[in-house]
Structure 1
């Protein structure tokens, strides 16, 4: 089949879980023998060359976030307009389209442009937000509009896929009228990465990700200070950058942890992998995760994970308490969870890696891609 994937970001020109997911979906579709066009926005200086995949920019915005890490409206609207223009000019070219539902303007653009064609459309929902969540994120006016557009997008989704039970339930509540396909998982087996099943000394906490309000990175220094009351030689490395970093540094200084906590920013993939592999525990205090890929990557090398229970955090679905990590009830409880993970020692590192071996044989990106692809093929044959 001729398949288009519509998402305004493309890995590695932009980095994140969604970017990696849709890039991998494209590669899996090509590996299955299909022709893939990836419709995105301009993110590069030199035209990208990806084997088997045609990459086309339908909008030109280089930046889609404001200074606080919030998506802005203009780039979303221009990307949606670019999608509509492309599909209007290519009606009949594609047998199927996989369109990311974030932002929901993508769904409206694709549906309107392909109305009346035989093209099969699957809307992929990485996340489904509550109305108050949209208002907190984008303000009362734009947030309300975004919430309404999400509701319309759900109503207009012919087929829908999600990657967590949390967001599948929400999609059904906001108005999707069909059967939501929940993928088996988004694990990318990493056989080339050697697990670290022995304990390194001194023990070290790591955080990996952007420094934005939803990630609550600024709560980490207090958790580390609390854990050090029982593990005095505990250190930490907080990777990443973002608008919340000044608050993180201020907390480190307030608690006198400048010699304990390092903040190297963004680093090479090799340094990041080694940092996770040799850590005693990875801590992710985020209140919002659509899936939680970093949890899986950490477990792949035997490093247990601490996450925090939150209404919008799907990553808790990946944790089996006492097996591959712990779920803290709140940021204030992270210190105790860190202590439990670290003192679990080699026993917990082995059970963490065993968890990964067990789930990585079935809950993979490849399996999810095949599930979506099978659905698209079947629907296309019925047209």
Structure 2
């Protein structure tokens, strides 16, 4: 099968949805030919594989801490992806188009209309259902344009009304949100997977916890910072390492300074894959207090290193993490409860180790790349047969 993937970001290191699309491409390339139309990202390394052809179209983008491309960048990608896509579909005899969110979904819809090729779009999350004030809070962050705040919710509504044969989503929670949001076409839930990496045999520091991800308001890191402030009074060795960046970083840094937690909380910014794995291995557990997610890919990355995860008691995180089995599921607004659980794990590291091993087992049995590939191919074959 010849597959055309459309994604503005096509990263092996940054962004959950973009990273998963690169995994899908690599698995597809084992038995199929894959063509990817994407924007070139400054400083990014791209997959090199005999069955993957990465085609760059303007504009060249900078990775801005997880911020989406600007409105004009989206329009330029859509126009250029359609132009290039028409050539690729004709010359490479493409069987199916698979797009990843927003502008690529629009490009895929146009290409499907012009060529009658089946189109699948991937939807990771529906931010408009993350609370009535979501977009207002999003706009309060630094470097967020007013136009982005106005256009993004409209495009989110438009994206599920485009031309596609079915929707691929990554969790049952997002499937339910799509139905609430008015999606009419079939929805295929195919869970994410990650690259398996060798285990680092580094003894974890029982007093160190780690957060990995974008620094945006809905990641809710304030609750963990407040928990650290509580814990330090009885356990001054408590540490939190924050990996990632984003428009909410300055707000979080000011909070840390105001609470005089500079010795307890470290902002590392973006790090390479090796450093990320090393930091995970050195930590007692991953903290992930997010209020809104499509999946939460970093949970699987933590399981990969046999580290448990402390998550918000919200779906889909609470669907992936089983309380006291492979992590802890905690009220996202109760810093006292977060402090209690983190302090307990720091004093009982054997419990963390046991839950981490359980998480690794869950990763290997439920979220493997082979399972991802099998279900993706089943979805493709179903769509192609239906069109035939």
SS of the residue corresponding to residue 72 of structure 2 reads: helix
In 2, distance between residues paired with 1:205 and 1:273?
Answer: 13
After TM superposition, the score normalised by the length of structure 1 is 0.86
Which segment is superposed worse, 38-47 or 243-252? Answer: 38-47
Distance 1:329 1:46 in 2: 37
1:178 aligns with 2:223: no
After superposition, the C-alpha distances for 1:43-84 in whole angstroms (9 at most, x for unaligned) are 24799561121011122131375x994542121121112222
Query: Hey, what's the Cα distance between the residues in 1 that align with 2:28 and 2:300?
Result: 23
CA distance in 2: counterparts of 1:72 and 1:368, whole angstroms: 31
- Residues 64/187 of structure 1: CA separation in 2 closer, same or farther (3 Å cut): closer
Partner residue, 2:4: 4
CA change 1:227–1:297 in 2 (3 A) is same
Query: Separation in 2 of the partners of 1:42 and 1:68?
Result: 15
Q: Which residue of 2 aligns with 1:137?
A: 138
Is residue 47 of structure 2 the alignment partner of residue 56 of structure 1?
Answer: no
CA-to-partner distance for each residue in 1:194-231, whole Å, 9 max, x for gaps?
466x6x45521111223222323344332112123443
Partner residue of 1:38 out of 18, 23, 36: 36
Deviations 1:328-358 (A, max 9, x none): 2124332223224334421332133123213
User: Which residue, out of 106, 111, 114, partners 2:112?
Assistant: 114
The yes-or-no answer on 1:263 pairing with 2:270 is no
Counterpart of 1:220 in structure 2 is 224
Count of residue correspondences: 373
1:192 to 190, 198, 202: 198
Residue pair 2:230, 2:339 contacting (<8 A) in 1 also:
yes
- For the 8 Å contact 2:2–2:34, the answer to whether it is kept is yes
Q: Secondary structure at the match of 1:115?
A: helix
Cα contact 2:5–2:99 (8 A) shared by 1: yes
| CA distance in structure 1 between the partners assigned to 2:156 and 2:44 by the alignment | 34
Is the 1:64–1:76 Cα contact (8 Å) retained in structure 2?
no
> Over residues 237-285 of structure 1, what are the superposed CA-to-partner deviations in whole Å (9 max), with x where a residue is unaligned?
2222333333333222222222222223233322221211121121122
**Equivalent residues of 1:225, 1:255 under 8 A apart:** yes
Single out whichever of 325-334 and 44-53 deviates more from structure 2. Answer: 44-53
Is contact 1:135–1:141 with CA below 8 Å preserved after alignment? no
Q: 1:128 & 1:152 partners in 2: Cα distance?
A: 12
In 2, Cα distance between equivalents of 1:359 and 1:42 = 31
Question: C-alpha distance in 1, partners of 2:23/2:124?
Answer: 14
Q: For 2:160, which of 140, 151, 154 is the aligned residue?
A: 154
3-state SS of 1:42 partner: coil
Over 3 Å counting, the alpha-carbon distance change for 1:240 and 1:113 in structure 2 is closer
Q: Give yes or no for contact 1:127–1:167 (8 Å, CA) kept in 2.
A: yes
Residues 35 and 257 of structure 1: CA distance in aligned 2, closer, same or farther (over 3 Å): same
Report 1:329-340 matches (<5 A): 329-333=331-335, 334-340=338-344
* Contact in 1 for aligned 2:33/2:52 (Cα 8 Å): yes
What's 1:376 paired with? 380
Quick one: distance in 2 between partners of 1:317 and 1:88?
Answer: 40
Identify the residue that residue 80 of structure 2 maps to in structure 1: 82
C-alpha distance in 1, partners of 2:319/2:155? 27
Give the C-alpha shift of residue 145 in structure 1.
Answer: 4.2
CA shift at 1:94, angstroms?
1.3
SS at match of 2:176: helix
**8 Å CA contact retained: 2:35, 2:52:** yes
Deviation for aligned residue 1:309: 3.5
Q: Which residue of 2 aligns with 1:126?
A: 124
Q: Structure 1 residues 45, 141: closer, same or farther in 2, change over 3 A?
A: closer
Residues 274/46 of structure 1: CA separation in 2 closer, same or farther (3 Å cut) = closer
Alignment RMSD (CA, Å): 2.8
User: Alignment partner for residue 341 of structure 1, among 335, 342, 345?
Assistant: 345
Whether the aligned pair in 2 keeps the contact of 1:202 and 1:235 (CA below 8 Å) is no
**Does the C-alpha gap of structure 1 residues 140 and 173 become closer, same or farther in structure 2, counting only changes over 3 Å?**
farther
Contact 1:309 1:316 in 2 (8 A): yes
